[in-house]
Amino acid sequence: MAESKAVRRYDPERRQRIIDAAIRVVGAKGIAGLSHRTVAAEADVPLGSTTYHFKTLDDLMVAALRQSNEGFAKVVREHGGALADPAADLAAELARLTGEWLDGDRTGVELEYELYLAALRRPALRPVAAEWCEEVTELIARRTDRVTARATVALIDGICLQVLLTGGAYDEAYAQEMLARVIEGPAGA
């Protein structure tokens, strides 16, 4: 009788497919629905593949957060040329870019925040959650001081959370006015 040997299939994209599946699972079921088993089923891979590539659920969540974290920072990098222009209105440009991000893939924005907020309960996610804040802070700090840049990022983050949590519409004029107050100081000061 011939001995049957399991053939190991070379699959260089498997790790990425697992990360993509984790993002889809969180998008559909929330953080509570994320497990190695649900991700394996979504990625159509054996359960052992998910645990091979990601020993813990936190490792998988870090990879998913790192990938989804690209949202706003990516929009700023790709379309924020005016941020570097000293003649451009920084508050107006940031308000426009925030609106562009929120008007894009809303599910992706919600997913990014869901993974971002998961860091409250999962310390392993905190450094990754902070990465996008740092990247955007660095981009804004090219036009202002670092403290103001950090406050600006916090304001953008707060405005985005309010829009997402209330289901309200993004008010670009309001965002621009508030950003100008942080960047330039209160009117008449």
CATH 1.10.10.60 domain position(s) in the chain: 14-66
Among 28-32, 37-41, 87-91, 113-117, name the one with the lowest average pLDDT: 113-117
> What average pLDDT score do residues 111-136 get?
85
pLDDT digits (tens, 9 = 90+) for 50-60: 999 999 999 99
Q: Which residue has the higher pLDDT, 95 or 65?
A: 95
In this model, does residue 43 exceed pLDDT 50? yes
Res 188: pLDDT: 45
In this model, does residue 9 exceed pLDDT 70? no
CATH 1.10.357.10 domain position(s) in the chain: 69-183
Architecture of the structural domain at 14-66: Orthogonal Bundle (1.10)
Q: What does pLDDT average to over the chain?
A: 86
What number does CATH give the domain 69-183? 1.10.357.10
Q: Which residue has the higher pLDDT, 177 or 115?
A: 177
- The alpha helices in the chain, defined as continuous H runs, are 14-29, 36-43, 47-53, 57-68, 70-79, 81-84, 90-103, 106-118, 126-141, 146-166, 172-184
Res 85: pLDDT: 82
